[in-house]
Chain A
Amino acid sequence: RKEVEQDPGPFNVPEGATVAFNCTYSNSASQSFFWYRQDCRKEPKLLMSVYSSGNEDGRFTAQLNRASQYISLLIRDSKLSDSATYLCTTLGYGQNFVFGPGTRLSVLP
């Protein structure tokens, strides 16, 4: 089983829509989870840290479900500028970050 899995998308949504991505992980001992966004051919940028059950920052909400070993990212009132690839990451078995393949989001006018 891959350590971190994500639906690659693409998710094509209209401006103003609410969209949610899921990410599943296999290391049940992992305590730290993060969402990064990556624009085309750019570096990943830290979006949110998820240390406990969840975290909210403006239009973005991240939730952690330890029992089912997944984290989710909810984007409300999506903007054109939200178009990017969203990477989920957590600690793998080697105690280093393992990134998921990313979920591509396109927000359409």
Chain B
Amino acid sequence: EPEVTQTPSHQVTQMGQEVILRCVPISNHLYFYWYRQILGQKVEFLVSFYNNEISEKSEIFDDQFSVERPDGSNFTLKIRSTKLEDSAMYFCASSELARVYEQYFGPGTRLTVT
């Protein structure tokens, strides 16, 4: 069964550093998403991406965040200058055109900002 993959599984970084989280969505999916989940809290939407541009973004997705699809398979989330409060699990998800609301999640990247 095809699945979304994410790397790395765990990233530790110092406050103020840039991080790039990587995702490989399911190959025939055209919609891509990033969510985050702070430990013990609910899953929060960050951004959706379709046709090489951002479709929607939440209030959390401010100027320090950016997304990119650098090639035909990867989908990345960059945090320019990390803060302590960025520590969370970051999930990538993807969905197909015909069933855009059925999203399949990757295993997540745990980001720890020290």
Could you list which residues of chain A lie within 8 angstroms of chain B, going by C-beta atoms?
A: 32, 34, 38, 41-46, 49, 87, 89, 91, 94-102
Q: Mark contacts of B97-110 with chain A using CB atoms, 8 A cut-off: 1 yes-contact digit, 0 otherwise.
A: 00001111111100
Is the pair B102, A44 in contact by a Cβ cutoff of 8 Å? no
Is the pair A42, B107 in contact by a Cβ cutoff of 8 Å? yes
Could you list which residues of chain B lie within 8 angstroms of chain A, going by C-beta atoms?
A: 41-45, 48, 56, 58, 89, 91, 101-108
Q: Which residues of B contact A89 (CB under 8 A)?
A: 43
Q: Which residues of B contact A45 (CB under 8 A)?
A: 105
Nearest residue (CB) in B for A51 is B101
Report 25 cross-chain contacts, Cβ distance below 8 Å, ordered by A residue. Answer: A32-B101, A34-B101, A38-B43, A41-B89, A42-B107, A42-B108, A43-B91, A43-B107, A44-B91, A44-B105, A45-B105, A46-B103, A49-B102, A87-B42, A87-B43, A91-B101, A94-B56, A94-B58, A96-B58, A97-B101, A98-B45, A99-B45, A100-B42, A101-B41, A102-B42
Q: Which residues of B contact A101 (CB under 8 A)?
A: 41-42
Is the pair A96, B44 in contact by a Cβ cutoff of 8 Å? no
Interface centre among B41, B42, B91, B106 (most CB of A within 10 A): B42
Closest 4 CB pairs of A and B: A43-B105, A99-B43, A101-B42, A32-B101
Question: What's the dominant secondary structure at chain B's contact region?
Answer: loop
Is the pair B102, A46 in contact by a Cβ cutoff of 8 Å? yes
Is the pair B103, A96 in contact by a Cβ cutoff of 8 Å? no
Shortest CB distance B100–A (Å): 9
Q: Which residues of B contact A97 (CB under 8 A)?
A: 45, 101, 103
Q: Which residues of A contact B105 (CB under 8 A)?
A: 43-45
Is the pair A96, B42 in contact by a Cβ cutoff of 8 Å? no
Please, how many angstroms separate the alpha-carbon atoms of A98 and B58 in the complex?
11
Contacts A42-B107, A43-B107 given; indicate if A99 touches B102 (C-beta within 8 A): no
Nearest residue (CB) in A for B106 is A43
Please, how many angstroms separate the alpha-carbon atoms of A31 and B44 in the complex?
20
Shortest CB distance A103–B (Å): 11
